[in-house]
Structure 1
């Protein structure tokens, strides 16, 4: 999450960057294959992203009302724990609201009530992403426009400005951010505060100690939490502990090549679990939880497969496996068939998204088609069921909306379903469809 949050905040090459902390970005089109800042992104909701820094003072997030069947707000710091403080499943977003963020290190603030603030959230880190997922209702143009307008109105302000004090700096546009604000408008200066981010394996190999010291200095740890205590115990022999300062001249030397090799081995082992139905059955409903509510096994899997997502009451992510149990590969074509009775049990909507297995990225194609679903496009048959085909060429009789294109090459594939606002009771007896090789 160090790489993810900083890439979205600080990387000008990321098409969804905010261009700095304490700014926002509204992505008013579904993500495409140019988004490579995070593994297994979705292509079925729109995002508004706020990257928030509470090291100087609390920050207030201002939210409009939405006209959507499904909207959620997900808050995540560097520690990978997930909190959903607001969602339409909880009755939120029918009215405008404000939310104040702070951490135990935020100076001059102890969680006291603030006039005009509806909700106060103590985060587990100083640098957090606050991500809105919005069902856009792509098939309803007027409703879509109302939701796009609402996404653009999401805003952040330091508490002093929210209360009418301070410099009253104007709102600015930066790196495509529709209404971002920041006290520091120089992205280079903002980036200099952080160790360089990059790919996960690169960090393991080149600057593990530097990055981890920065992370623990900006993270809240609970000594009674087993995962927190275990992590600090592992890092202590390397001189990494909250409050320490990274010094390249005195930091212990580690074998970066060996550490990278271990990280790559663990990643391969975790990705292989996509084909382990027993593992998925046991762990799927336990992913993306707050601190104290997740196992080490689930935390490790989600950190590799896709570092951030929503808990089961908001979304479920069942993998579609093959009928014969073999990994799906782009050397072959596949079909997924569901009758009306076999469609996923959801209270909002569902989708099925295709990824390249190793990277977790979308497969580039000139149709910009990566998923099948209500917002990315699908066509049900006359009986209410659906046939989805993964193929190098569009098969005869298959609607374009139900075709997921691939490039004919030796490439392992994943298909992940997303079930938004799932019916958890019905889900217990529902079986994800299988992909049949054609």
Structure 2
């Protein structure tokens, strides 16, 4: 029997603490690294839930199973959720399905609507609305795992807790009253429950992070198909049924855990290879429905929580000035040839984001109070030949070009996101490609 087998056997019969045995065998570091990545969506979803439930609510009570409308398009003042859009009004509800099903009424509409049901691991379990159920409205019964399906139009969530996120297209300030009227016709009914306790965040100590991760794994058990990764992180004591106890870890084990946590996000980013074509990063096919791609899931949970799958919305980002993984920092022109605008069945836009030091993205203050530019922007001017130039950067290009200017932050790194909602086949299959950014 080799040293590893001796340590494993000793741990099994209680001769040494299991965590110490694994640390001595050199596996605890890897377990901590993988556990941090695996649990990050749970941590980010719980943190988003806590922030949103404790915001001032425009008359809405702060609790679970309440559908709360946001009455304004997102601006630089909104810092609740990373990478928001500036095209749709959001309505949001954090769900607790442990007390029974909920009923959602979606009204008829003549505009783009999507209702995403995200489980606590950040998968889109279902998307209702324009693309999938049409614009005729309907009543839907949302049930949790293991609950009997009864009622109209069953929609099943794979975790007992979830996030219901409604997006309603708005064409700007003049259109808000009509969009509000539509928001008010969405109705969510069912048992109401108080907010859950707050959990640790990604900025917490490793001890608090994994303690909260353990509680979240118990509250929202992972799917059976995650059995292999769960077996690997069990060395940490982290299991769906409970078991993580930092008090049992000695100094050597703690050093291994700290080293693994420090490696987690950089290693996830390295393994989440982007799909780059002509200077743009295109979304991978598994975005929004992750399967067992835990690295990619963690990276998007940090930088784009609640991302929709490509068939609903395509998100393109340019490669930065220093290559993949870097940001923009200058002035640019994006030129669409005549007849070559993003092909969509709903709408497209380009949104400006300032990058934070911890990998998140928010809208940025600017003199024009303009956060995005796209097919519904008033005053957008095409060239005489039908082509369209978008000017992107810190400096006003001046003259008539200002109408097509997307302002960047006065300082610091930034990026943009080209969104295409209900992309046509030629964008989804790669026949249409975004033109490269030209640095000025």
TM-score, normalised via structure 2 length = 0.76
Of 421, 434, 437, which residue of structure 1 is paired with 2:436? 434
Rounded to whole Å, the distance in 1 between the matches of 2:279 and 2:337 is: 26
1:210 shift after superposition: 1.2
For 1:183 and 1:282, locate their aligned partners in 2 and report how far apart those are by CA, in whole Å.
Answer: 40
Mapping of residues 265-304 of structure 1, within 5 Å: 265-266=266-267, 269=270, 276-277=276-277, 284-289=284-289, 292=291, 295-296=293-294, 298-304=296-302
Could you say which residue in structure 2 is the equivalent of 1:165? none
Alignment counterpart, residue 342 of structure 1, candidates 340, 343, 349: 340
Corresponding position: 1:147 with 2:179: yes
Helix, strand or coil: the match of 1:350? strand
Query: Does the CA-based 8 Å contact 2:281-2:318 persist in structure 1?
Result: no
Counterparts of 1:75-90 in structure 2 under 5 Å? Answer: 75-90=117-132
Whole-angstrom distance in 2 between the partners of 1:102 and 1:300: 24
Q: Which residue of 1 aligns with 2:331?
A: 333
> What does residue range 219-368 of structure 1 map to in structure 2 within 5 Å?
219-223=220-224, 225=225, 228-244=226-242, 249-250=247-248, 254-255=254-255, 257-266=258-267, 269=270, 276-277=276-277, 284-289=284-289, 292=291, 295-296=293-294, 298-321=296-319, 327-330=326-329, 332-357=330-355, 358-368=359-369
Query: Equivalent residue of 1:347, what SS?
Result: strand
Shift of 1:25: 1.6
Q: In structure 2, how many angstroms separate the alpha carbons of the residues matched to 1:322 and 1:341?
A: 27
Deviations 1:228-263 (A, max 9, x none): 123312321122222226556457864464344223
**Whole-angstrom distance in 2 between the partners of 1:8 and 1:339:** 40
* Contact preservation (8 Å) 2:373, 2:406: yes
Whether the 8 Å CA contact 1:26–1:49 is kept in 2: the answer is: yes
- Superimposed CA distance per residue, residues 248-282 of structure 1 (whole angstroms, 9 cap, x where no aligned partner): 645786446434422342366479x5694499778
Q: 2:395 aligns with which of 386, 390, 393?
A: 393
Tell me how far 1:328 sits from its aligned partner. Answer: 4.6
Q: Which has the larger radius of gyration?
A: 2
TM superposition score normalised by structure 1: 0.77
Q: Deviations over 1:396-418 (max 9, x none)?
A: 13454532223443x33222111
Change (3 A) 1:249 1:47: same
Distance in structure 1 (CA, Å) of the matches to 2:232 and 2:369: 43
Q: Give runs of aligned pairs for residues 183-222 of structure 1, distance below 5 A.
A: 183-184=193-194, 190-192=195-197, 194=198, 196-198=199-201, 200=202, 202-203=203-204, 205-222=206-223
- For 1:119, the equivalent position in structure 2 comes to 153
Q: Hey, what's the Cα distance between the residues in 2 that align with 1:30 and 1:360?
A: 16
Tell me the CA shift for residue 55 of structure 1: 2.1
Secondary structure of 1:365's aligned partner:
coil
Distance of aligned partners of 1:415 and 1:230 in 2 relative to their CA distance in 1, 3 Å threshold: farther
* Structure 1: segments with no counterpart, 5+ residues: 160-181, 185-189
Verify the 8 A CA contact 1:352 1:418 in the aligned structure 2: yes
Give the alignment of 1:374-393 within 5 angstroms: 374=375, 379-381=380-382, 383-393=385-395
Aligned equivalent of 1:413: 414
Q: Give the stretch that moved more between structures: 349-358 or 11-20.
A: 11-20
Query: How many aligned residue pairs are there?
Result: 388
CA shift in 2, pair 1:240/1:333, >3 Å: same
CA distance in 1, matches of 2:143, 2:259: 39
